[in-house]
Amino acid sequence: MIRVATWNINGVKARIDTALEWLRQDGPEIVCLQEIKSVDEGFPREPFEAIGYNVATHGQKGFNGVAILSKLPLEDVTPRLPGDDDDVQARFIEGIVSVRGGILRVVSLYLPNGNPIGTEKFSYKLAWMKRFNAHAAARLALEEPLVLAGDYNVIPEPWDCHDPKVWAGDALFQPESRAAFRELAALGYTDALRACTDAAGVYSFWDYQAGAWQKNHGIRIDHLMLSPQAADRLTGCEVVKHVRAWEKPSDHVPVVVTLDLEAA
């Protein structure tokens, strides 16, 4: 069994103790981090390497930034989403992990927030999603197990948030954003969590303000989308909710998928 996590850590240096505590307790083989808020040379590699992880980063000073941590060999690491050489924002990293009997391709992505609507930020979000979907479509031709893990900044359905009316004017819940997310499913990708449960009230983010965590006023925006070859090996998916209650938490929690990569 291989477990792959996605986690918007909201600043790796600010959350290093929380991250290491969780990884020591229950560390998945592969962890995709978003919003590391660190340049590559400033990323605290040594503590993660000390507990058995290989580290690959695509960083940016002060904001954005993604990383892949892997207890297994990590190769062919590619930063930057193809399709726009002028895009300097660090939001995408892809690598290949060697597993028994083959490989697992993994992407860590941090999709643009897009707020406020009606500005170039929302246009950038939609353009980025179009590029990402094109890349995801091209990767299907490889017929490999692939996990597209990250903070998508998209609330897919009304039951993925506490109160849809609150989010009606937000870029995360716009018809265009949700339609672009659905295109991944139309291509053949599976939402790992929704393949395991259709329950409402399952969230991965709670704002720091207005007691959102205590009231469970959350949203589900952190997703693991699986290629058909990965979905065929899906055995479970869970939201690691309890770390949100730890000291100095991220406003996101890890979401973890389990794959039986030795299955037929």
pLDDT digits (tens, 9 = 90+) for 205-254: 999 988 889 999 999 999 999 999 999 999 999 999 999 999 899 999 99
Q: What is the pLDDT of residue 210?
A: 80
The CATH number corresponding to 2-259 among 3.90.470.20, 3.20.20.150, 3.40.1670.10, 3.60.10.10 equals 3.60.10.10
- Residues flagged as binding site for Mg(2+): 8, 35, 151, 153, 251-252
Contact 91, 112 (CB under 8 A): yes
Query: Among residues 53, 58, 110, 162, which one is catalytic?
Result: 110
| Binding-site positions | 8, 35, 151, 153, 251-252
The reported pLDDT for the residue numbered 262 is 66
Name residue 69's beta-bridge partners.
31, 55
Query: pTM for this one?
Result: 0.96
pLDDT, averaged per 10 consecutive residues of the chain (264 residues), comes to 96 94 94 97 96 96 94 94 93 94 94 95 97 97 96 97 95 97 97 96 93 93 98 96 93 97 58
Query: Residue 5 has which token pair?
Result: 């996590």
Q: Is it true that the peptide bond before 116 is cis, omega within 30 degrees of 0?
A: yes
Which is catalytic among the residues 58, 162, 223, 252? Answer: 252
Q: Among 154, 142, 131, 126, which Cα is nearest to 225's? A: 154
In the chain, alpha helices (H)? 16-26, 45-50, 120-140, 175-187, 192-196, 212-215, 228-231
Catalytic residue list contains 58: no
**Given 53, 58, 151, 203, the catalytic residue:** 151
Measured distance CA(64)–CA(11) in Å, rounded: 9
Question: 151 an active-site residue?
Answer: yes
